[in-house]
Amino acid sequence: MSAKPGRDDQPAETVDDYLAALPEGQRAVLERLRATIRTAAPGAEELISYRIPTYKYHGPVVHFAAFKDHCSLIAVSRPVLERFASELEGFRTSGTTIRFTAEHPLPSALVEAIVRARMEENEARVRQQRR
């Protein structure tokens, strides 16, 4: 599976379409991830951007994607990943991306903390721009 699931390799138009095209294990873990993101960021807009599920609140908050042998949460911010480095031990990270599997998903509390930190970063940037 790639980051662009869909019928006949067409990109998904909605997050529901994206998730529906995944194998059961990945779908289940990403549905839980989605629910956690939505709880942590109730005001965020959910859409498909760059062919993957994306959450925006004063700019991008996080993205997630499914690949053949792993899933990814893209936190968009190196400082946020650095802040949570100890909690991310045991997961592969690169740049702003955290890789995980259906068998070893990200803990919901960690996802909530990352999403809240991203929203705080975006809010701070907006406040700074208004000055």
What DSSP state is assigned to residue 9? G
How large is the angle between the packed helices 108-130 and 24-40, nearest 10 degrees?
A: 40
Name the residue among 53, 51, 50, 44 with its Cα closest to residue 122. 44
Task: Give the CATH class of 7-130.
Answer: alpha beta
What three-state secondary structure class fits 16? helix
**Confidence check: pLDDT of 4 > 50:** no
Note the pLDDT tens digit of each residue in 45-67.
999 999 999 999 999 999 999 99
Q: Where are the domains of the chain?
A: 7-130
- pTM summary value: 0.91
Terminal-residue alpha carbon distance, the chain = 45
Note the pLDDT tens digit of each residue in 15-41.
999 999 999 999 999 999 999 999 999
